[in-house]
Amino acid sequence: MAIQMIDGRRIDLNLLLALDVMLTELNVTRAASRLHISQPALSTQLSRLRTIFNDPLLIPTNRGMVPTALTLELRQPLGGLLDAARGLVSQAQQFDPLLDKIAFCVASSDYVQVAILVPSIRNRNDETAKATSCRDIRSCSECTTPIPFSQEGS
């Protein structure tokens, strides 16, 4: 069976991920659990996929679901597409403390800043410490959500 052209505007990556997990599990309840969504929500996604592909994709039986011929054809390209998407996202999320600039604004008492935070950063001898700077929260314009910091028991 040949894969027909589909309207790309009607599909999203979450639907393809759901299909991939359903192909692995061959059971909507277990697949929903792996995706951390409800079984009815996954059934709705399966219904949307069936409409998009104009195929039942997975046929219910007494022992779970059986993939159709089209679904078996989709398995390998689907896996490749999802692997490529994961690679793209993980590449974009890499953090290099020597190259990236991020402002961490820590809300603390003057004592904690002077006695703990600043010395602990300045006493580091590695390259990361050279790229680290400290500013008082009151002068940190990049700060939108300060990170509270307190000593144990205070």
Domains of the chain: 8-92 (1.10.10.10), 106-148 (no CATH)
Check: CB of residue 143 under 8 Å from CB of residue 152.
no
Q: Region 116-129: what's the mean pLDDT?
A: 66
- At position 132, the amino acid (one-letter code) is T
- Residue 33: per-residue pLDDT: 95
**CB proximity list for 54: less than 8 A, separation 6 or greater:** 4
User: Over the stretch 75-116, which tens digit does the pLDDT of each residue have?
Assistant: 999 999 999 988 887 766 666 666 766 666 666 777 877 787
- Residue 49: per-residue pLDDT: 94
How far, in Å, CA of 41 to CA of 144, rounded?
A: 35
**DSSP-assigned states of every residue in the chain:** -PPPP--GGG--HHHHHHHHHHHHH--HHHHHHHHTS-HHHHHHHHHHHHHHHTS--EEEETTEEEE-HHHHHHHHHHHHHHHHHHHHHHHHT---TTT------EE--HHHIIIIIHHHHHT--SHHHHT-----GGG-TT-SS-EE---TT-
Q: Region 55-82: what's the mean pLDDT?
A: 93
Q: Region 114-125: what's the mean pLDDT?
A: 70
pTM here is 0.56
Q: Region 119-143: what's the mean pLDDT?
A: 61
